[in-house]
A and B are shown apart, each in its own frame.
Chain A
Amino acid sequence: MSENKDSKVKNNAARPPSFWRRFGMQFGIWSVGIFMWLIFVVTASEAFTSKDIYLAFASSTPLFALMAIPLTLIVITGEIDLSFPAVMALATATFAKIYSGTGNIWVGFIAALVVGTLCGYFNGWLVTWFGIPSLVITIGTSFLFRGIELAWMNGSGVGLTDDKLLGVANLLVGRSFFGIANQFWWTILATLVLWFILNRTQFGAHVFLTGDNKTSAQLMGVNVNRVKRRTFAIMGFFAAFAGLVASFEVSYFWPTLGEGLLMNSIAAVFLGGTSVFGGVGTVTGTFVGSFIIGAINAGIVASGINAFFTQVFFGLVIILSVIMQAVISKRIKR
């Protein structure tokens, strides 16, 4: 509010954009979230008034929120990544192999993050060097990464119950403060860090410009291909981290790790108000979007509704939110 007053004093002719223009999308996302929550409080009041269900959200939602948040940056540049579930698995396989080979946890941990980052960078390189649509090329790399991982692991999983692993497991997925899962705090941290990168660094500014109008950005000296490669690399880094979190959460590395998380992550990004056309989006929106998706998953079951209806709910919420985006952006253009 005080910011508005300031600029009015300095330049009495200039008026800031209206509340709706600025916050309409965010407002819409929060409304959808609160509306969903109220439905569940009414239809499943027993479950939704006890704290257990919220603790369950805090442990399960981060498994895909940790990837939805960096995916937001890729979508803002006008690209998409479908290979991150496979990156999760390949990176975690790297950890499992290096740990069983050397017995060194931190070497394995860092190697996993490096492999994830390189996989992401490889995606970005294919997209920018050959000019192939990311929608297509990341389907290809998804099979490639998954295939390498399955061949390497020979299709079998690894238990992560070793005593030596207790420390890292506690750090990643332990419970703290009233039993809230640590992955929830990691998700908050990821949101803050990526918010800063997107809104307070030159790279972040270029993410918006790249997705808004690639040619304009290039004419003004933005290296749009480098921007894209970096967003893919960041995605790979977080996919690796999420792979470790998800595996330690169940104390087992499944070679199928990541399957089932793709749609949740993508839905969270669009539900969070990031534009399908690029140029517009927020990581806080994705954060809220993730928890709405998480609530639908849990709420359907707790309400005693047939779980097959989860998909119907998902569909409706996503379609509604994309329509909302279209309507709001039309209003802005007026």
Chain B
Amino acid sequence: MPILEVRDLCARYTRSGPEILKDISFDVEADDFFAIIGPSGAGKSTLIRCINRLVAARSGSITFDGRSVTSLPARELRSLRRDIGMIFQEFNLIDRMSVMDNVLSGRLGYTGNLRTLFRAFPRTDVQRALEMLHRVGLEEHVDKRADELSGGQRQRVGIARALMQGPKLLLLDEPTSALDPKISREVMGLIKNMAQEFAVPCLCNIHDVNLAMEFCNKMIGLQDGVKMFDGPTAEMDQAKLDEIYAMEVL
């Protein structure tokens, strides 16, 4: 059974606004590194935000791990989000907090309000955070403020935060678009390795097709909210790419 099933998903931001996603369906299996490619403005971010309901879908169904995402009440929605890690294009770290606090914030879904107030996380969480920071190669920067780090380092903090959740799925929204090409490749490699080690499937927006070809095993292509391609990466060819990115050339 696939970990994530998306069926006939439609989404729009305002009631009278344009339809951003039009009848999207796809499945993510437990060992997938799944790419969503497409020109900018195609609706990739919108699609990925529908999965953990940062954006509410208008119609269609999303089933994650046997639970229907679209119809959960608030409390269960939070426990669903706990199981889905997310890594952002702009990192979305808390700039004024330390690297440690940023990584620990991945555990907030498991933390009570009183502990949150005093940032008093259980020992096991701290231990786990240290391990994560060691894995992403930031153990020397534990007490630095997040805004003192370079772009690549900031995204590593983002990765550590997402994995702190112990997620069953990772959502990646163009995780490397704000980084330069060399660092991009490193960060993608790190994500892929960590995902394999923790056996977490990934659903990843990528603007850069070469990276998608290199790291992902399946992909869908979006153009203006419509799914144009769905299949293993190997089946993707130049003609299909040209079609998907046709709008961008104009």
B is a partner of A: no
